[in-house]
Amino acid sequence: MRVLVIGSGSIGRRHHDNLQALGASSRLVSWREAGLGGALAAMTDARAVVLATATDIRLPLIEAAAARNLPLYIEKPLAFRPEEVEAIAAVAAPVADRSMLGYMMRYHPAVRALAGIDLTDVFQFALSIGHDVTQWRQNWRFSDSYAAKAEGGGVLLDLCHELDLAACLFPGLQVARVESLGHPAFPGVDFASRISLHRKGLVGDVSMDYLTPLLHRRTTLRGTERMHDFDLAAQVYRVTEPDGPRGLDLPLERNAMFLDAMRDFLALAFGGPTLGNPLMPRLDLCLPSARLVAQAWAMRTFVGEITKEIP
């Protein structure tokens, strides 16, 4: 199983290590060092490709891999412009049913638990995630990263897992409005965004930020029969029903999500049984979510600025 990983940042290295742990022959190529020509040349010996590059440079790589009939694991988000989502969908169509989008949160035990529950009584939901971006990693500066770019950066794209989860749990959502806060030093980059969503009989919000001092990640679903209040950061999961609340035991080892996603990708790419996750982020099945993310990014309205110093 020869897999080419393009992009040697933290997520590319994680995928490279996990592929090796799963018994694949993985080659890691730095985009900054190889460029387009080197990346295309490296595809010659590959049988599958993992793309862990910045979002705005992926289209030619996806097109080249699909033309070579190489299945793809593409890091999220797929694209940030609606027209580019459609362009990628078109060129990737020959391999889309053997490819995946990197929404590893679909393998989180709490998410899988929610996906197995009847949620038809839910009338309102709120999903949120945030953490001070200056504390993410040692020896890392926001201003030097892809996230600081007006084209393809910002918190809505960077932390779009929650938007994908909303799309998984409640298919058919539409974006009503997106309110964002910017920063004077980074024009066009959102540091906090709130996406208001709706469909018939259901309203909800997805919020993300680069600002809160400690990691928060919460999913609240309010229904006429029960309420789910899941604190994914603290790993505390509570379901409240008419006879009172009860907790769920859903232990998590973070890298297990990445490993399970990569196991399913290898199964798709090389043949073999998948893990049976009904939310498996196969590329052709992920296009509605990818479209929702791009639509939300395109609809951002900057309503103010934050003053926190961001190095």
Q: What mean pLDDT do residues 25-43 have? A: 94
**Predicted pLDDT of residue 138:** 72
* 12 half-sphere exposure, CB direction, 13 A CA radius: 19
Residues 174-186 pLDDT 10s: 999 999 999 999 9
Q: Is 268:276 a contact under the CB 8 Å cutoff?
A: no
Q: Structure tokens of 38? A: 């080197």
Q: Give CATH superfamily name and number for 107-252+292-305.
A: Dihydrodipicolinate Reductase; domain 2 (3.30.360.10)
Q: Is 22:5 a contact under the CB 8 Å cutoff?
A: no
Render 103-136 in DSSP notation, one character per residue.
-GGGG-HHHHHHHTS--TTEEEEEEEEE--GGGS
**Predicted pLDDT of residue 140:** 79
What span, in angstroms and rounded, lies between the C-alpha atoms of 306 and 311?
A: 14
Q: What mean pLDDT do residues 135-161 have? A: 90
Q: What top-level class would CATH report for the domain 2-104+258-283? A: alpha beta
How does residue 44 score in pLDDT terms, banded at 50, 70 and 90?
very high
Kindly give, in sequence order, each residue whose CB lies less than 8 Å from that of residue 40, ignoring residues fewer than 6 positions away: 61, 64
Residues 232-285 pLDDT 10s: 999 999 999 999 999 999 999 989 999 999 999 999 999 999 999 999 999 999
Whether 2-104+258-283 shares its CATH topology with 107-252+292-305 is answered no
E-assigned strand segments in 117-235 = 122-130, 174-182, 192-199, 202-209, 216-223, 227-231
How does residue 137 score in pLDDT terms, banded at 50, 70 and 90?
confident
Count of C-beta atoms within a 10 Å radius of residue 91: 17
Q: What is the pTM of this model?
A: 0.95
Q: What are the residue ranges spanned by the domains of the chain?
A: 2-104+258-283, 107-252+292-305
Q: Is 128:292 a contact under the CB 8 Å cutoff?
A: no
**Predicted pLDDT of residue 188:** 97
Residues 272-295 pLDDT 10s: 999 999 999 999 999 999 999 999
Residues 93-104 pLDDT 10s: 999 999 999 999
Q: What mean pLDDT do residues 29-44 have? A: 93
**Predicted pLDDT of residue 146:** 86
**Predicted pLDDT of residue 1:** 84
Residues 52-75 pLDDT 10s: 999 989 999 999 999 999 999 999
